[in-house]
Amino acid sequence: MKIPKEIKISGSTWKIKREKNPQLDGLVVSAVTYPVTRTIVICTSLTGEELVHTFFHEFNHAVMAELGMHNCNIVNEVEEIIVDNFARIYLQTFNMGLKCRTKKR
């Protein structure tokens, strides 16, 4: 699966970037979603199934942001469980073939 450079969610454009060391609160992470700027950043070292799963995981964070779920005071750990399980279901359901492009952008 080719990871897009941008996607539309509920009419809003989200940018997807690849960076060497994405950070969240000063910590290096595999990926991060920034709802205010509508940006998803994914680590360039991720490949294959891990890359696709991470993209879907962050996509789900973006969907939740667009739906206003951040206003529901969902505990972070619960949101992580929700988005991760949906990402796993997407992988299983769509069986993406996992031919991912890992070329740096």
DSSP secondary structure, 72-101, as one string: GT--HHHHHHHHHHHHHHHHHHH--TT---
Residue 52 lies in a domain: yes
> Domains in the chain: how many in total?
1
What is the SS3 assignment for 6?
A: strand
Domain holding 49, by residue range, is 6-94
Predicted local confidence at residue 36, as pLDDT = 94
Residue 49 lies in a domain: yes
Distance CA 24, CA 92 (A): 28
Distance CA 105, CA 88 (A): 26
- Give how far Cα 19 sits from Cα of 10, 63, 83, Å: 26, 21, 21
CATH number at residue 37: 1.10.10
Residue 80 lies in a domain: yes
Residue 63 lies in a domain: yes
- Give how far Cα 54 sits from Cα of 17, 21, 26, 71, Å: 13, 15, 20, 24
Residue 1 lies in a domain: no
Predicted local confidence at residue 97, as pLDDT = 53
Residue 100 lies in a domain: no
Question: The pTM is what?
Answer: 0.85
Residue 10 lies in a domain: yes
Predicted local confidence at residue 93, as pLDDT = 87
Residue 86 lies in a domain: yes
With contact defined as beta carbons under 8 Å apart, do 71 and 48 qualify? no
Residue pLDDT tens, the chain, 105 long: 789 999 999 999 999 999 999 988 888 899 999 999 999 999 999 999 999 999 999 999 999 999 998 778 889 899 999 999 999 999 888 865 555 444 444
